[in-house]
Amino acid sequence: MTSERYYGLIPAAGAGERMGQPRPKQYLDLLGRPMLHHSVKALLADARIDTVFVVLAPADREFKQYPWGEFGGRLAPLYCGGATRHDSVLNGLVAASSTVEPEDWMLVHDAARPCLGRRELQRMLDELAADEIGGILGVPVADTLKRADPVARIQATESRENLWQAQTPQMFRHGLLLQALGRTAKLSDEAGAVEAMGLKPKLVQGSAENLKVTYAEDLQLAQTILTSRGNQA
């Protein structure tokens, strides 16, 4: 019998430069709450998630200005963010080591994905519970893909067969993830580090609604999605 636990880890130490706003995007208002609040809430919606660690910039002064009481002891801020997302996740994994066992599952989830759905999270936990390696949420590429030349003229039409877009959460055992991220740098996601060890993470069907808020117009879309679910905060 397995007795491993499930934890969330949300890197939230970025500057959100592409949003073009003075404050980091994790604190931008989304239905009266900072965006980070929705991302935390989405992970904690599944009772199997024990605690969500949030990795903040060491100089973060904003987190404490918001009320987090509704999550009780299930939310744990860690002021150990680094210069890149990779560093923030790695520092967070190290800081969480005092609580988390190597066999426990870590679900690494971007603060910038506030619309993670309950159903997709549940599917991920169900499909990967007995998995040897772990996996990520993703969606098969639906659009026709064009390769461009440097002046945006189409050079070729690429096959989209077996191509997926990677999302978060990315779910791996703490020990494996620590080892994988410690060996590589400059990868944009956790799965890439695990792949670099010669392992094949599983792709779990996600939803296009789990968008990453990167540019200003994405925030409006996120608001529309949350509102359509009747999620007011």
Of the two residues 26 and 223, which places its CB atom closer to ligand CTP in the complex?
Answer: 26
Question: What is the distance in angstroms between the CA of the first residue and the CA of the last residue of the chain?
Answer: 38
Of the two residues 123 and 212, which places its CB atom closer to ligand CTP in the complex?
Answer: 212
Q: Which stretch binds ligand CTP (CB under 6 A): 12-20, 116-124, 159-167, 175-183?
A: 12-20
Of the two residues 4 and 139, which places its CB atom closer to ligand CTP in the complex?
Answer: 139
Of the two residues 15 and 129, which places its CB atom closer to ligand CTP in the complex?
Answer: 15
Of the two residues 78 and 128, which places its CB atom closer to ligand CTP in the complex?
Answer: 78
Among 9, 12, 52, 193, which residue interacts with ligand CTP (rule: CB under 6 A)?
Answer: 12
**183 interacts with ligand CTP by CB under 6 A:** no
Among 33, 37, 41, 85, which residue interacts with ligand CTP (rule: CB under 6 A)?
Answer: 85
Q: How many CB atoms lie within 10 A of CB 44?
A: 19
The radius of gyration of the chain's CA atoms, rounded to the nearest angstrom, is 18
Distance (Å, whole) CA 151 – CA 87: 35
**Positions in 105-134 near ligand CTP (CB under 6 A):** 110-112
Distance (Å, whole) CA 160 – CA 145: 7
H or E segment at 220?
A: helix 216-228
Of the two residues 78 and 204, which places its CB atom closer to ligand CTP in the complex?
Answer: 78
Q: Give me the DSSP letters along 18-69.
A: GGT-SS-GGGSEETTEEHHHHHHHHHHTSTTEEEEEEEE-TT--SGGGS--G
Among 84, 165, 179, 207, which residue interacts with ligand CTP (rule: CB under 6 A)?
Answer: 84
Helix, strand, coil percentages in the chain from 3-state DSSP, rounded to 5: 35, 25, 40
Residue nearest to ligand CTP (CB): 14
Among 6, 9, 14, 100, which residue interacts with ligand CTP (rule: CB under 6 A)?
Answer: 14
Residue among 47, 51, 45, 21 at smallest CA distance from 34: 21
Contact code string over 133-172 relative to ligand CTP, x by CB under 6 A: ----------------------------------------
What's the number of CA atoms in the CB half-sphere (13 Å) around residue 133? 18
Residues of the shown chain interacting with ligand CTP in the complex, contacts defined by CB under 6 A: 11-18, 25-26, 55, 81-85, 88, 110-112, 212, 214
